[in-house]
Amino acid sequence: MNFVPKMNRRSFVIGTAAAGGGLAIGFDLPFGSGTAQASGLTGTEVGIWVALKPDDTIVVRVARSEMGQGTITGLCQLVVEELEGDWSKVTYEYPTPGEHVKRKRAWQSYSTGGSRGIRESHQYVREGGAAARLMLLQAAANEWKVPVDQLKAENSVITGPGGKRTTYGKVAEAASKLPVPAKPALKDPKNWKIVGKPVKRLDTADKVTGKQVYGFDLKLPGMLTATIKESPVFGGKVKSFDAAKVAGMKGVKKVLKVGDTAVAVVADTYWQAKTALDALPVVWDEGPNAKVSSASIADTLKAGLDAPQAFVGAQAGDAKAAIAGAAKKIEAVYSYPYQNHVCMEPMNATARYTADKCEVWVPTQDGEASFAAVIAASGLPAEKCEVYKINLGGGFGRRGAFQDYVHQAVRIAKEMPGTPVKLLWSREEDMAQGRFHPTMQCKLVGSFDKDNNLTGLHMRLSGQSILAAVRPAIVEAQKGRDPLVFQGVADASVLGEHSLGYTFPNVLIDHAMRNPHVPPGFWRGVNINQNCIFMECFIDELAHAAGQDALAFRRKLMEKHPRNLAVLNAVAEKIGWGKPAPQGRFYGLSQMKAFNAYVAAAAEISVTGGNKLKVHRIVAATDPTYAVNPAQIDRQVSGSFVYGLSAMAWQECSVKDGRIAELNFDTYNSMRIAQMPKVESIVMPSGGSGPWGGIGEPTICVAAPAVMNAFFRATGRRIRTFPLKNHGIELV
Amino acid sequence: MVRLNINGRDHNVDVDGNTPLLWAIRDNVGLTGTKYGCGIAQCGACTVHVDGVAMRSCSLPVSAAVGKKIVTIEGLAVNGVLHKVQKAWIDHEVPQCGYCQAGMIMAVVELLKDKPKPTDADIDNTITNICRCGTFQEVRAAIHAAAKA
């Protein structure tokens, strides 16, 4: 679909446009003619998505990566539903990227970002399950010499006329030799038995006993451990380092430069490597960015708020004329800081290099991107490379498009051929070398006529483009515009899966691109985090200025957006909007469409002493078209609020002397259980034949504006810059 | 060389005395269920029990653990029977990515030892582990369930 091997710019752009309003995140990956390794896959293949074992164990192949979001379980539900398999006998495995490339990308996309895991693969994985069912039935029919339409499959058992009975495991071998039916018919969703049910996750047990192996935990025979320090100033280089000073330290095996920008120590253990690296004298050439600060970046962005040149993301009527002729104007400037993903498991990768083979074990959101990185860093052809995916200790967007740690691990391993080297980043390195949620400022101007009717809205974004840094081909193809900055506020023609949920009489939403030197990345939700705050807080400001109820004001703008309205109404009703709140409690609302899901939140808060903010409850509604596992959706929703509210309250990567100042949780706080609100999740799939919506990200954006709108009602104070700690406001 | 008693077994570990207990457990003894998250006793992913007290092993030198009984997540189940906290964790499907959960579970086991029927306030005051997936709603429910088990 969105993948073009050896793509040129033009073919890439066509692939992007074909993605139905989504954005393909591609990369260059040559096809190999075959990998040298055994596939490592188990069972008898019936098609490519299902394998069976003689004991009827069902092995579902999962191409996307599990990082806690439950995608393995959801994808298995989809496959096994169509397979008519016995859910109690389901297990799963990851086909390696090498095997995948060898089979000409048989398992389609490995990319696990953009909340795509289920929404963009449900069709073909269900077809994979259905095809396997048809093959198994045909194999039994052939064995029994009866027409296949007289057979029935249920719960991994095939029955036929005259009491005939067999199981999937018994006919798998014969089925595996049959042709794979193309485009098999799928079940009507109303007949689903496994999909849509809150079945238990398949991957819980090992996570409570310490058995689950993360990348950090990997052990290989003869393995050494490395740790690394890259120039803390982005764009800087290693000028010199004095390896002799640490070479004799206990356990140290090698001290080396990695590329132009980093130094690493390889030792028997992590603590030895870290101790030596800390003691290693390094002189940096800090390059041209050594004087950049948060203040200088803010000034750059501020200049964009009124700059004449900007890229348009949404437009209707003539907003500037409406504002010029307004009876009343409301204006506000918001800003959003850099954020780091801070996965609990810091970045890591393990590599073993010889001239004949380069293997990498890595927790990755995109096995294909890791594979491409191994090829590039090793200099070996695809058939001599392999990647073994490991479940992630958090991903959140850091471990997909960016494979810097894979490049580093391979470069280090290349210096020690035959020895497996596990590269572990310290938390400080992880914080210093992020791919940061970009910083953005936003100026909003709303206009009213003399009767207090809203006549126009101009939303000017000024700030950093992720795609300009990461996928410049997309930006060039759009003549300099980054469509992704308009997530949640875009015209449908610009970014359909993130389209604006209001119809304004006149509107202009545009972006002045200002790209500081800090490397940006995709951070859970990406640009909806700031856009939802900007739009949803300002809508509340407009409603307040017009003297209207925040819900009624929104509803008038949402007549043409019934699914947005439905989720908003659902949360408003459940929180008790329009009824008196309990003593000292205040409500706030927000809504957005993102990743093709419609989401809304209603928050209930209190504020004591003017600055102690307690979020008691958040009601959240999600319409993802179809809900595969409602229990896991509930967990993604409440978990997303921890991520989003942590950012709102405490998190900011500030820039001092060209580098990130916050290097650990002591200065970059994250929510604890004490601050956790009660989350009431409403899952309201509306069905139909439209695109499915994502789950992992959309709701992250609605928590903060709902809370901040409630905060305004509680205090009369409108906070427009984040995090709250900078205002002396404490989340308690 | 130091001698550590971990999960009822003695281990001779060839590390400097100021090496954090976490890394001796992980790299020298080879028990990797205990996790590194921050190295500065902020996140709690490295929580183990030292003489029955939940400690953040990333900031505890091995020299301070010599002669004491150390229990890690691997030592929580007895004869293959999961601890009631682990069972509650499975029943409530607490883990998402799971990386922080060993530390979270070890902290909760100690909480329930001190306060067998903890209130929400007890939980808030005692369980200060960081979870970036945000499993706190399930953590709270599972703690109350374990307390009743």
Residue A373 predicted with pLDDT over 90: yes
Q: How many CA atoms lie within 13 A of A253 on its CB side?
A: 18
Residue A15 predicted with pLDDT over 50: no
Residue A467 predicted with pLDDT over 80: yes
Instruction: Please state, for a pLDDT cut of 70, what percent of chain A lies above it.
Output: 95
3-state SS, residue A573: helix
Could you give the angle at the alpha carbon of A197 between the alpha carbons of A192 and A200, nearest 5°? 135
User: Chain A contact for B58, CB < 8 A?
Assistant: no
CA proximity to A350, closest of A332, A340, A364:
A364
What domains sit in chain A, N to C, each tagged with a CATH number?
1-27 (no CATH), 31-206 (3.30.365.10), 215-287+347-424 (3.30.365.10), 294-339+436-731 (3.30.365.10)
Nearest to A426 among B27, B39, B133 (CB): B39
Residue A251 predicted with pLDDT over 60: yes
Name the fold adopted by B2-75: Ubiquitin-like (UB roll) (3.10.20)
Q: What is the pLDDT of residue A16?
A: 32
**Residue B86's closest chain A neighbor by CA?**
A208
Question: Which distant-in-sequence residues (6+ apart) come within 8 Å of B80 by Cβ?
Answer: none
Q: What is the pLDDT of residue A93?
A: 96
**Residue A671's closest chain B neighbor by CA?**
B130
From CA B33, how far away is CA A348, in angstroms rounded? 17
Residue A384 predicted with pLDDT over 60: yes
Would you kindly state where each structural domain of chain B is located, as residue ranges? 2-75, 84-148
A216–B32 CB contact, under 8 Å: yes
H-assigned helices in A87-217:
97-102, 122-144, 168-176
Residues of B in contact with A343 (CB under 8 A): 97, 99, 132
Mapped to the 3 state alphabet, what secondary structure does A400-452 carry?
A: CCCCHHHHHHHHHHHCCCCCCEEEECCHHHHHHCCCEECCEEEEEEEEECCCC
From CA A240, how far away is CA A281, in angstroms rounded? 8
Residue A28 predicted with pLDDT over 80: no
From residue A609, give the alpha-carbon distance in Å to each of A10, A724, A730: 58, 15, 10
Signed CA dihedral, A199, A202, A205, A210: sign only: negative
From residue A48, give the alpha-carbon distance in Å to each of A94, A125, A628: 12, 10, 22
A640–B33 CB contact, under 8 Å: no
Sequential DSSP letters for chain B: -EEEEETTEEEEE-S-TTSBHHHIIIIII---SS--S-SSSSS-TTEEEETTEEEEGGGSBGGGTTTSEEE-GGGSSBTTBPPHHHHHHHHTT--SS-TTHHHHHHHHHHHHHH-SS--HHHHHHH-----SS--HHHHHHHHHHHHH-
Residues of A in contact with B99 (CB under 8 A): 214, 343-345, 393-394
Residues of B in contact with A71 (CB under 8 A): none
Strands (E), A201-301: 224-230, 237-241, 252-258, 262-267, 282-285
What is the token pair recorded at A90? 């389901």
From CA A698, how far away is CA A624, in angstroms rounded? 10
A643–B134 CB contact, under 8 Å: yes
User: Chain A contact for B68, CB < 8 A?
Assistant: no
First-to-last C-alpha distance (Å) of chain A: 46
User: Chain A contact for B66, CB < 8 A?
Assistant: no
Q: What is the pLDDT of residues A534-580, one digit of tens each?
A: 999 999 999 999 999 999 999 999 999 999 999 999 999 999 999 99
User: Chain A contact for B99, CB < 8 A?
Assistant: yes
3-state SS, residue A538: helix
What is the token pair recorded at A623? 């319409």
Q: How far is CA A690 from the centre of its chain?
A: 22
Signed CA dihedral, A306, A444, A594, A491: sign only: negative
Residue A254 predicted with pLDDT over 90: yes
Strands (E), A278-318: 282-285, 311-316
The neighbouring-strand residues paired with A129 are none
The neighbouring-strand residues paired with A169 are none
From CA B29, how far away is CA A290, in angstroms rounded? 43
Q: What is the pLDDT of residue A665?
A: 98
Mapped to the 3 state alphabet, what secondary structure does A340-354 carry?
A: CCCCCCCCEEEEEEE
From CA A142, how far away is CA A174, in angstroms rounded? 9
**Residue A208's closest chain B neighbor by CA?**
B86
Q: What is the pLDDT of residue A14?
A: 27
Query: How much is the CA Rg of chain B, to the nearest whole Å?
Result: 15
Q: Which of A201, A209, A523 to mutate to test the interface with B (most CBs of B within 10 A)?
A: A209
B132–A396 CB contact, under 8 Å: yes
**Residue A202's closest chain B neighbor by CA?**
B93
From CA A618, how far away is CA A616, in angstroms rounded? 7
From CA B139, how far away is CA B100, in angstroms rounded? 12
The percent of chain A in helix, strand and coil, each rounded to the nearest 5, is 35, 25, 45
3-state SS, residue A158: strand
Nearest to B130 among A212, A213, A665 (CB): A665
What is the token pair recorded at B132? 């970036």
Mean pLDDT score, A131-151? 98
B133–A200 CB contact, under 8 Å: no
Q: What is the pLDDT of residue A8?
A: 31
A676–B140 CB contact, under 8 Å: yes
Q: What is the pLDDT of residue A294?
A: 98
**Residue A637's closest chain B neighbor by CA?**
B134
Q: What is the pLDDT of residue A40?
A: 80
Residue B1 predicted with pLDDT over 60: yes
Task: Give residue for tokens 């098999």.
Answer: A184
Q: Which of A207, A422, A731 to mutate to test the interface with B (most CBs of B within 10 A)?
A: A207
A68–B96 CB contact, under 8 Å: yes
Q: What is the pLDDT of residue A27?
A: 41
CB A501 within 8 Å of CB A558: yes
How far off is chain A from B39, nearest CA to CA, in Å?
7
Q: What is the pLDDT of residue A575?
A: 98
From CA B104, how far away is CA B54, in angstroms rounded? 10
Question: Which distant-in-sequence residues (6+ apart) come within 8 Å of A719 by Cβ?
Answer: A708, A711, A712, A727, A729
CA proximity to A653, closest of A245, A297, A207, A352:
A297
Q: What is the pLDDT of residue A35?
A: 30
Residue A13 predicted with pLDDT over 80: no
B124–A225 CB contact, under 8 Å: no
Residue A288 predicted with pLDDT over 90: yes
Q: What is the pLDDT of residue A582?
A: 97
Q: Report domain B84-148's class.
A: mainly alpha
Question: Which distant-in-sequence residues (6+ apart) come within 8 Å of A133 by Cβ?
Answer: A82, A83, A84, A153, A184
Residues of B in contact with A211 (CB under 8 A): 33
How far off is chain B from A670, nearest CA to CA, in Å?
7
Signed CA dihedral, A511, A516, A517, A522: sign only: negative
The mean pLDDT value of chain B amounts to 98
The mean pLDDT value of chain A amounts to 94
Nearest to A344 among B73, B97, B125 (CB): B97
CA proximity to A461, closest of A515, A395, A542, A502:
A515
How far off is chain B from A417, nearest CA to CA, in Å?
22
Nearest to B93 among A200, A213, A641 (CB): A200
Task: Give residue for tokens 């300099």.
Answer: A480
Residue A185 predicted with pLDDT over 50: yes
From CA A289, how far away is CA A293, in angstroms rounded? 9
Mean pLDDT score, A14-20? 31
Q: What is the pLDDT of residues A160-175, one digit of tens each?
A: 999 999 999 999 999 9
Nearest to A344 among B82, B99, B140 (CB): B99
CB B1 within 8 Å of CB B12: yes
Nearest to B96 among A69, A427, A679 (CB): A69
The neighbouring-strand residues paired with A92 are A60
Q: What is the pLDDT of residues A486-527, one digit of tens each?
A: 999 999 999 999 999 999 999 999 999 999 999 999 999 999
**Residue A267's closest chain B neighbor by CA?**
B27
Q: What is the pLDDT of residue A37?
A: 34
Residue A25 predicted with pLDDT over 60: no
State the CB neighbour count (10 A cutoff) for residue A5. 13
B16–A250 CB contact, under 8 Å: yes
Strands (E), A260-347: 262-267, 282-285, 311-316, 328-336
Instruction: Please state, for a pLDDT cut of 90, what percent of chain A lies above it.
Output: 95
Residue A21 predicted with pLDDT over 70: no
Residue A469 predicted with pLDDT over 60: yes
Residues of B in contact with A426 (CB under 8 A): 39
Residues of A in contact with B39 (CB under 8 A): 426-427, 664
Residues of A in contact with B38 (CB under 8 A): 427, 664-665
User: Chain A contact for B34, CB < 8 A?
Assistant: yes
User: Chain A contact for B92, CB < 8 A?
Assistant: no
B42–A664 CB contact, under 8 Å: yes
This complex has an ipTM of 0.99
Q: What is the pLDDT of residue A1?
A: 27
Signed CA dihedral, A525, A526, A529, A532: sign only: negative
How far off is chain A from B40, nearest CA to CA, in Å?
8
From CA A469, how far away is CA A61, in angstroms rounded? 33
Residues of A in contact with B145 (CB under 8 A): none
Residue A29 predicted with pLDDT over 70: no
Q: What is the pLDDT of residue A6?
A: 31
CB A136 within 8 Å of CB A172: yes
Nearest to A427 among B37, B98, B101 (CB): B37
B98–A207 CB contact, under 8 Å: yes
CA proximity to B131, closest of B101, B93, B87:
B101
Name the residue type at position B65: A
From CA B143, how far away is CA B114, in angstroms rounded? 13
What is the token pair recorded at A201? 């996750």
Question: Which distant-in-sequence residues (6+ apart) come within 8 Å of A248 by Cβ?
Answer: none
**Residue B18's closest chain A neighbor by CA?**
A271
User: Chain A contact for B15, CB < 8 A?
Assistant: yes
Helices then strands, each counted (H, E), chain A: 19, 28
User: Chain A contact for B88, CB < 8 A?
Assistant: no
